[in-house]
Amino acid sequence: MVTIRDAFPGFSVDDVAAAREFYGTRLGLPVDDDAMGALRISLPSGQSVFIYPKPNHEPATFTVLNLVVEDIDRAVDELNVAGVVTKIYTGADDFGTDERGVARGSATGGGPDIAWFRDPAGNVISVLAG
């Protein structure tokens, strides 16, 4: 069996500068330049995420990063003030979200309170109460 020393997630974007601004300024995460024009985002857990440029990038159709917050409503307010839209699902795909884009799973025993949004490359990110 292979011996794994470490692991880290990664996903692509089509504009590294826009990703740097979004993750660093709007979300307030530490962002460092990595080899070959990529980025490394430091998470509060000490883990990192590798974000790399891809010219033919296609946004992920699933959540690529979940950010745990203490207060979902305060997090949504702060995201909205920063220009981040948290109501990205509508109609049949809305997952029971309210007018602010929050799925209130804790009230029904159906999971955490969670809101989704997209990064500048269209990848789906979430904030969830934990």
Q: What is the pLDDT of residues 76-92, one digit of tens each?
A: 999 999 999 998 887 76
Which of 23, 41, 44 lies closest to 32, judged by CA? 41
Q: How many whole angstroms separate alpha carbon 114 and alpha carbon 17?
A: 27
Number of domains making up the chain: 1
Alpha helices in 1-130 (DSSP H): 16-21, 72-81
Q: Is residue 2 part of a domain?
A: no
Q: Is residue 109 part of a domain?
A: yes
Q: For residue 91, which amino acid is it?
A: G
Question: For the chain, what percent of residues have pLDDT higher than 70?
Answer: 98
Q: Is residue 1 part of a domain?
A: no
| Host domain of residue 22 | 10-129
Q: Is residue 4 part of a domain?
A: no
Tens digit of each residue's pLDDT (9 = 90 or more) over 91-103: 767 678 899 999 9
Q: Is residue 54 part of a domain?
A: yes
Q: Is residue 5 part of a domain?
A: no
Q: What is the CATH number of the domain that holds 87?
A: 3.10.180.10
pTM: 0.91
